[in-house]
Amino acid sequence: MNSPLPETLLSRLLGAERITVFTGAGVSAESGVPTFRGNEGLWKKFKPEELANLSAFMKNPDLVWEWYEARRRIIGSVQPNAGHRALADMERLVSSCTLITQNVDNLHRRAGSRNVVELHGNIERNYCLACGAVYTGADLPHTGGVPRCSRAGCNGLIRPDVVWFGEMLPEDEWEGAVRASASADVFFSVGTSAVVYPAASLPMMAKQQGAWLVEINPEQTTLTPSADLFLQGLSGELLPSSVNALKEGR
Ligand code: BJW
Ligand code: ZN
């Protein structure tokens, strides 16, 4: 059982005009989507650094594609959890609420969040490396192995529209994330190990600009010593109780 939420959290939430939430793989863990790192990470066979980069894809496109296909199958078979749903509720309760996610699994949108900044792309979109043509799951050519572009004369490799190591984050999303972090009164960092940059710089950016920094995670991270409040536990429990407290306080 979690201990009751501290009063300071409630008063900070009630006094906040702008709340920004930054999420990572841990927020989808209770839906059954494996995280990347740590003991519970299913991808222990491969480090994300080994598969989530362009040179791995060029060297062995079928292997990398199959990793994404396996993940799409998992994501397609699971549902958003109570943590995702609480964040969708939070958006409806707070006048300015931005959700910045590193996740590519689309579960925040499926839960009803609308103001979502996807920093690392979306696994449901793909594009041709040669001509840039966009493919969703439904219009992908199914050939076995990595699909190839069906535009006349192209035949380029199709890759998932996600951000791999060594690649720049999408400019508009990054700028939106920086704006929402710098202007936040309360900033939540939820379910992320906060080791992958530049995304991991957002919580400290928010704090340096005056936000009250709350971290939700069952484990301590490198961010924990800087958090104004560390709520140790599962996001599927702590996010609903935070949002319920906000509902009751209003
Ligand atoms: C729960 C829970 C529950 C569990 N409730 N919580 C040296 C220093 C600094 C930076 C670099 C460096 N060397 C290289 C870099 C740059 C590099 C980087 O940061 N590397 C570090 C690993 C060292 N970054 C990049 O390359 C980025 N681009 C860039 O920098 O561009 C500039 C540039 C351009 C050209 C050349 C050089 C630089 C791009 C990074 C892209 C990351 N992409 C991935 C894959 C996306 C696609 C896909 O999904 O396949 O993004 S990697 C992977 O990590 C994925 C995630 O979004 C990201 C973060 O992981 P996350 O979400 O934190 O997950 P976990 O598993 O790490 O943590 C889960 C947490 O949940 C844990 O803490 C658990 O305890 C917790 N948890 N259950 C709450 N129920
Ligand atoms: Zn093409």
- 63-110 pLDDT per residue, tens: 999 999 999 999 999 999 999 999 999 999 999 999 999 999 999 999
Q: Is 120 marked active-site? A: yes
Mark the residues whose beta carbon lies below 5 A from ion ligand 2. Answer: 128, 130-131, 133, 149, 151, 154, 156
Confidence band, pLDDT 50/70/90 cuts, at residue 52: very high
Ordered DSSP codes for 14-83: HH-SEEEEEE-THHHHTTT---SSSTT-GGGGS-HHHHSBHHHHHH-HHHHHHHHHHHHHHHHH----HH
pLDDT for 217 beyond 70? yes
Contact of 250 with 15, CB cutoff 8 Å: no
Which residue's alpha carbon is nearest to atom 71 within ligand 1?
Answer: 26
> Given this model, what pLDDT does residue 39 score?
63
For residue 197, give both structure tokens.
């940059």
Considering every ligand atom shown, identify the ligand nearest to the alpha carbon of residue 83 and give its number. 1
The closest residue, in CA terms, to atom 66 on ligand 1 is 36
Atom 32 in ligand 1: residue holding the nearest Cα: 168
Task: Tell whether the model's pLDDT for residue 43 goes beyond 80.
Answer: no
Q: Indicate if ligand 1 lies below 6 Å from the C-beta of 192.
A: yes
Any ligand 1 atom below 6 A from CB of 165: yes
Quick check: bond before 198 cis, omega within 30?
yes
Tell how far the Cα of 41 is from the centroid of ligand 1, in angstroms. 13
Q: What percent of the chain has pLDDT over 70?
A: 96
Q: Whose CA is nearest to atom 59 of ligand 1?
A: 196
Whether the pTM exceeds 0.85: the reply is yes
The best mutation among 46, 87, 161, 165 to test binding of ligand 1, ranked by most ligand atoms within 8 Å of the C-beta, falls on: 165
What is the pLDDT, as a whole number, of residue 142? 75
